[in-house]
A and B are shown apart, each in its own frame.
Chain A
Amino acid sequence: MKTLKEVKVGETATVVKLHGEGATKRRIMDMGITKGVELHVRKVAPLGDPMELNVRGYELSVRKVDAEMIEVL
C-alpha cells in the first residue's frame, strides 16, 4: 500500500482511500481530499514536515502523520 507520505516532491498521485477516522479524517475530506482526486506534492517544509499539496486548484498543508492515512496510487 502506497501512502501520500511516500509521494515525492513534484509528483502527482490519485487518492484511493482514506484510512483512520474521526475529526482529522473528516477535516481532510472537507478540504477536498476525497477518493479519486489528484494530489500534486508541491514541496516539503524546511524541517521535513509538513508537506504542501496542490489539491483542487489550491494549496493545502498537511503533516506527514496525516498523509500516512491517505492511500494513493
Chain B
Amino acid sequence: MELKIALAGNPNCGKTTLFNDLTGSNQYVGNWPGVTVEKKEGKLKGHKDVIIQDLPGIYSLSPYTLEEVVARSYLVSEKPDAILNIIDGTNVERNLYLTTQLVELGLPVVMAVNMMDLVRKNGDKIDVAKLSAALGCEVVEISALKGEGGIAAAEKAMAAAQAKKAGELPHVFTGSVEHAIAHIEESISGKVPNNFLRWYAIKIFERDSKVMETLHLDAELKAHLEEHIADCEAELDDDAESIITNQRYAYINGVVDKAVKKKAAKHSLSTSDKIDRVVTNRVAALPIFAAVMFLVYYIAIGPLGTFLTDWTNDVLGTAWLVDIPRGWLEGVGCAGWLTGLICDGILAGVGAVLGFVPQMLVLFLMLSILEDVGYMARVAFIMDRIFRKFGLSGKSFIPMLISSGCGVPGVMASRTIENERDRRMTIMTTCFVPCGAKMPIIGLFAGALFGGSGLVAVSAYFIGVAAIILSGIILKKTKGFSGDPAPFVMELPQYHTPSAKNVFHATWERGWSFIKRAGTVIVASSMILWFLQGFGFTETGFGAVEDNNSSLLAAIGGAVCGIFAPLGFGNWQSTVATVTGLIAKENVVATFGVLFHIGDGVAEDDVALWGAIAQHYTMLSAYSFMVFNLLCAPCFAAMGAIKREMNSAKWTAAAIGYMCGLAYLVSLMIYQFGGLITGEVSFGLGTVAAVLVLAFFIYMLFRKNKYDDNRLTVSAVHAAKVVTR
C-alpha cells in the first residue's frame, strides 16, 4: 500500500533539505523564509511505495498567504497518512506553536528536531522524552544538512502511518476554554470526520471564516455556539482568537522550560547577531548593500568576466566552433549554402551566446552564495522603509532578488506577499531586474563599446532597481494600486556558512539551463534567422541575396524600425534582435551573431562581432538599446508566468504594456538628452518629446496622491472591489 508522508514545519526550518536527503532529489534550498511556495512530491529512497510531500513552510494553520493556503488545504483535505513535523532545534518555542496545531488534526505525527548539530554546538540540551510526552507524538533528533537521522525519522513516520494511530491529544487550554471546545465538539460531532473533531471545534471557537463556510451550520446552532464563545471571552477578557494563541504559547512555555536547556543567556548576541550589527547597521547598511551588488555585477560582467569571455572565445569560439566545422564541410564538398547555414547561422548564433557561459557561471555562483548565507532576508529588512513609501513591503524585494537569476521564479515568488495589490505591483515590476539571460546583452555592449567596463552591468542593475522604485511611486498613485501597505512581519534567519554542495548545485543548474537553451531555442532561431536574412526579393524574383540588407528580414524589420529611430537604434537589425529577444533574452546576442557576421563579411569570432557592433552603434545608442531591452517585455516564459500569477488577461496586458511603455520612454530620454550633450542629435522633435516625457514623469512622481488620505480605507476597499475578478 502506498503511504503519503507530509513534511510540515515553519518556513526555513530545513524541510526541503530533509526532502532532498530523503528522496535523493535536488530541490533548490535557500536561507530565507519562503523558498518553497509549492508542494513537491518525491519517493523515499529505498521505499518505492512511500511518497514524501514537501510543503511550503507555515507558522500556523490559519493561513494568510497563498503558499500557506497550499499547505493547510493539503493537510486538511488531502489527509496524508502521517505528518513529519520538522522543528528548528535552535528555535523550539515558536516551532512548537505549529506542532500544537498539527497534532490536533488527528493524523499520526512524528516530530523531527532538526539542526541538532547547531544545538549541540551551542551547548544547548533538548530533552526529547519530555517533548514527546508533552505533545503526544514521537520525537526524533536529526540534522538534515549533515544527513543525520533523516531516514530514521522517516521510518518512524512510516510506522506511525501504518499503525494509523494519532497520539493522545495534549490538553493545551485552560478549564473554561476546554469546556467550550468540548461543547462545540458535541454539537458538531457527526458533521465532520471524527478524528478532525477537535481541530474543527477549535477553528469554530476561533471563528475561522473559511472553516465556517465549509461546515454550513444552521443559524440556531451557530447562535448557541456563539454564546459559549462569548462567555469564554467575557471570562478571560480577550477575543477568542487571542485566547487560543495565548494559551497555546503558555502551554509551550511550560514545555520548553522543562525540556530545553539553553546555555547562552537570554537576548545574548550570537555570531549571527554580531554579523548583523555590521551588515544592518543604521549608517552602513545601505552602502553595504550597494557595495555588495556593485561587486557582484562588477566582477561577473566586468574585467574578470570579460577576461573569461575573451579566453573562451579564443579557445572555443573561433577555432573549434566555426573554423574546424567550416574546413570540414568545405573539405567534403558541401554546397555553399549549407556551409553558410551551419557556420554563419547556427554556429555564429550559438557561439555568440555560449561565449558568455563562464561569465554567467561567475554571476550565478555569487548570487547563490548570497542566497545561501542568509543575506537576502536582511535586504528585505533594510529596504522595507523605501518600499513601504510606495506601498510595497520589504518582502517584495525577495522576488526581485530571485529575478536577478531568472524572472520566472521571481514572478512566482510573489506568492509570499499577503496583499493582492502588492502582489500585482511586485509581479509588474520584478522583471525590471536584469536576469541572467539579459547579462549577455550587457556583456556584449560592454565589451564592444565600453572597453569591457564592469560599470555598465552595475549601472544596468541599478537602473532596474530605480525602475522598480519609480514605478512603485507612480503606480501607487493610480486607482488600481492605492491603499494601505501590507503588514511586514518577517523572521530574520540565522546566518550560516554557505554549503558548498548547495551553492555549486544552484550555480550548475542555472548554468546548465543556460547552455541547454543555447542548444535548443537559440539553434532553432538562428536557423530561421539565417534563412530570413539570406533570402529576399531581387530583380530576378525571390531568391538568395548577396547582401542581407536587401533580404526579406531587412524589409520586415525596416518597415517597423522607424519607431525606434528616436531612441537611437532605428536600424532593422536592432528591431529584429528586440523581437527575437522575446523568445529568450540572450537571443539578442545570437541574432547579432547571425546578422552582423554576414553583413560585414568579417571573420567569425566574437571580437569581430564587437567590431561590427561598434560600426552600427555609438556608445549612446548602444546604451539606449540595452536599457530598452532590459526594461521592455520579458521573454515569453516570464510573460507566461506573469499571466499565471495575475490570473487575469486584463492585468497581464496591463503589466506587459506598462513594461514596454516605460522602456520606450526611458530609452527616449536617455538618447535624446544624452545626444544633446554629446552632440550626437540636434535639437528637434525628438528633444521636445523627451522634454514632455520628462515633465510627465516628474508630474506622475510628485503629484499629490488623491487616494492617500483618511478616506483611504474606504476608497481602497472600493478599488479592491473594482479590480477583483
Cα–Cα, bound, A62→B286 (Å): 19
Range for the number of chain B residues in contact with chain A: 35 or more
Cβ of B62 within 8 Å of any chain A Cβ, yes or no, is yes
Cα–Cα, bound, A18→B194 (Å): 35
Partner of B280, one of A28, A46, A62: A46
Cα–Cα, bound, A63→B381 (Å): 10
Name 25 interchain pairs, CB-CB below 8 A, sorted by A.
A23-B64, A24-B489, A25-B242, A26-B62, A27-B64, A27-B487, A30-B59, A30-B60, A31-B491, A35-B242, A40-B267, A42-B276, A43-B276, A43-B282, A45-B285, A46-B283, A49-B388, A52-B280, A56-B93, A58-B94, A59-B494, A61-B380, A63-B384, A63-B388, A63-B489
Contacts of B547-598 to chain A: CB distance below 8 A: none
Partner of B239, one of A21, A44, A45: A21
Cβ of A14 within 8 Å of any chain B Cβ, yes or no, is no
- Whether the pair A30, B245 counts as a contact (CB closer than 8 A) is yes
- Whether the pair A34, B249 counts as a contact (CB closer than 8 A) is yes
Cβ of B450 within 8 Å of any chain A Cβ, yes or no, is no
Contacts of A1-27 to chain B: CB distance below 8 A: 12, 18, 21, 23-27
Cβ of B262 within 8 Å of any chain A Cβ, yes or no, is yes
Contacts of B372-394 to chain A: CB distance below 8 A: 380-382, 384-386, 388, 394
Cα–Cα, bound, A11→B245 (Å): 25
- Whether the pair A30, B97 counts as a contact (CB closer than 8 A) is yes
Cα–Cα, bound, A23→B599 (Å): 62
Interface residues of A: mostly helix, strand, loop or mixed? mixed
CB distance from A29 to the nearest CB of B (A): 4
Chain B residues closer than 8 Å to A26, beta-carbon distance: 62, 64, 241, 245
Cα–Cα, bound, A21→B207 (Å): 13
- Whether the pair A29, B385 counts as a contact (CB closer than 8 A) is no
Cα–Cα, bound, A32→B91 (Å): 11
Given A46-B285, A62-B489, A63-B384: A57 touches B246 (CB 8 Å cut-off): no
Chain B residues closer than 8 Å to A21, beta-carbon distance: 239
- Whether the pair A66, B381 counts as a contact (CB closer than 8 A) is no
Cα–Cα, bound, A45→B266 (Å): 22
Contacts of B220-277 to chain A: CB distance below 8 A: 238-239, 241-242, 245-246, 249-250, 262, 266-267, 272-273, 276-277
Cβ of A37 within 8 Å of any chain B Cβ, yes or no, is yes
- Whether the pair B489, A34 counts as a contact (CB closer than 8 A) is no
Partner of B273, one of A31, A42, A66: A42
Given A49-B385, A59-B492: A32 touches B487 (CB 8 Å cut-off): no
Cα–Cα, bound, A62→B488 (Å): 6
Chain B's closest residue to A63 (CB) is B488
Partner of A56, one of B59, B60, B94, B250: B94
Cβ of B637 within 8 Å of any chain A Cβ, yes or no, is no
Cα–Cα, bound, A18→B380 (Å): 25
Partner of B489, one of A42, A48, A59, A60: A60
- Whether the pair A29, B242 counts as a contact (CB closer than 8 A) is yes
Cα–Cα, bound, A37→B60 (Å): 18
- Whether the pair A66, B490 counts as a contact (CB closer than 8 A) is no
Taking A26-B245, A42-B273 as given, write out 19 further A-B residue pairs in contact, using a Cβ cutoff of 8 Å, ordered by the A residue number: A21-B239, A23-B418, A25-B241, A26-B62, A27-B487, A29-B245, A34-B250, A35-B242, A36-B246, A42-B276, A45-B385, A46-B281, A46-B282, A50-B488, A52-B492, A57-B92, A58-B94, A61-B381, A62-B489
Chain B's closest residue to A39 (CB) is B267
Cα–Cα, bound, A59→B32 (Å): 13
CB distance from B108 to the nearest CB of A (A): 24
CB distance from B720 to the nearest CB of A (A): 14
- Whether the pair A48, B94 counts as a contact (CB closer than 8 A) is no
Chain A residues closer than 8 Å to B267, beta-carbon distance: 12, 40, 54
